[in-house]
Amino acid sequence: MTLAQRPRPEADRDSAPWWAAVRRHELTVQRCEGCGALRFPARAICNRCRSRSYAWEPVEGTARVYSWIINHQVFMRSMADEVPFPIVLVRLDAGLGQGDDLLMYGNLADGDAEVLRAGLPVEAVFVDVDDETTVVHWRPR
């Protein structure tokens, strides 16, 4: 099964701008216009100050592995030949020490799961699945 055959991520009201930026190969997070905090995942209201005002801001695509799983479950028959595969949760370097962690999920690019360890430095890799969809994978750096 190729990446193009996989189910597509579905953007919602809050995440649509993020997916549009990813399509441009740009990694972004929200910055609260009330208190200045960076946040991700996308949400309409700031956890800190309750402001509903925010802007999307580009960030460096560097991060460190926070955690991961090795998926052995065949959730879809069409992906049966891909298991097992790792899914990583990374903490962006952007925003470190500012409060909320900026955590993103993704596949491991160029990936042998044996390299995974907590704190492993990684970088975002933008993978164009087709003419409409781009996803973010994480590659050890």
Please report how close the Cβ of residue 11 comes to Zn ion at its closest, in angstroms. 23
Complex with Zn ion: residue 1 or 49, whichever CB lies closer: 49
Q: Which of 48, 64, 82, 105 binds Zn ion (CB under 5 A)?
A: 48
Task: Determine the size of the site formed for Zn ion (CB under 5 A).
Answer: 7
Q: Which of 1, 4, 49, 70 binds Zn ion (CB under 5 A)?
A: 49
Contacts 24+ apart (CB under 8 A), 76-84: 76/7, 78/1, 78/5, 78/6, 79/1, 79/6, 81/1, 82/1, 84/113
Residues near 40 by beta carbon (within 8 Å), at least 6 away in sequence: 18, 29, 30, 92, 102, 103, 104
Q: Which of 22, 46, 88, 102 binds Zn ion (CB under 5 A)?
A: 46
Tell me the residue type at 100.
Answer: D
Site for Zn ion in 57-116 (CB under 5 A): none
What is the H or E stretch that residue 105 is in? strand 103-108
Tell me the backbone φ, ψ of residue 103, rounded to 5 degrees.
Answer: -110, 135
The reply to whether 55 sits near Zn ion by the rule CB under 5 A is no
Complex with Zn ion: residue 40 or 138, whichever CB lies closer: 40
Q: Which of 51, 62, 71, 133 binds Zn ion (CB under 5 A)?
A: 51
Q: Which of 4, 16, 35, 55 binds Zn ion (CB under 5 A)?
A: 35
Name the residues that contact Zn ion, by CB under 5 A. Answer: 32, 34-35, 46, 48-49, 51
